[in-house]
A and B are shown apart, each in its own frame.
Chain A
Amino acid sequence: QKEVEQNSGPLSVPEGAIASLNCTYSDRGSQSFFWYRQYSGKSPELIMFIYSNGDKEDGRFTAQLNKASQYVSLLIRDSQPSDSATYLCAVDSNYQLIWGAGTKLIIKP
Chain B
Amino acid sequence: NAGVTQTPKFQVLKTGQSMTLQCAQDMNHNSMYWYRQDPGMGLRLIYYSASEGTTDKGEVPNGYNVSRLNKREFSLRLESAAPSQTSVYFCASFPRVGETQYFGPGTRLLVL
Contacts and interface: CB of A to CB of B under 8 A. Distances in A.
Interface of A: 4, 8, 31-32, 34, 42-46, 49, 51, 88, 90, 92, 94-97, 99-102
Contacts of A32: 98-99
Given A34-B101, A92-B98, 9 more contacts: A43-B103, A43-B104, A44-B103, A88-B42, A90-B101, A92-B97, A96-B45, A96-B48, A101-B42
Contacts of A92: 97-98
Nearest to B45: A96
Interface residues of B, number: 22
Interface centre among A90, A94, A97, A102 (most CB of B within 10 A): A97
A49 B100 contact: yes
Contacts of A51: 98
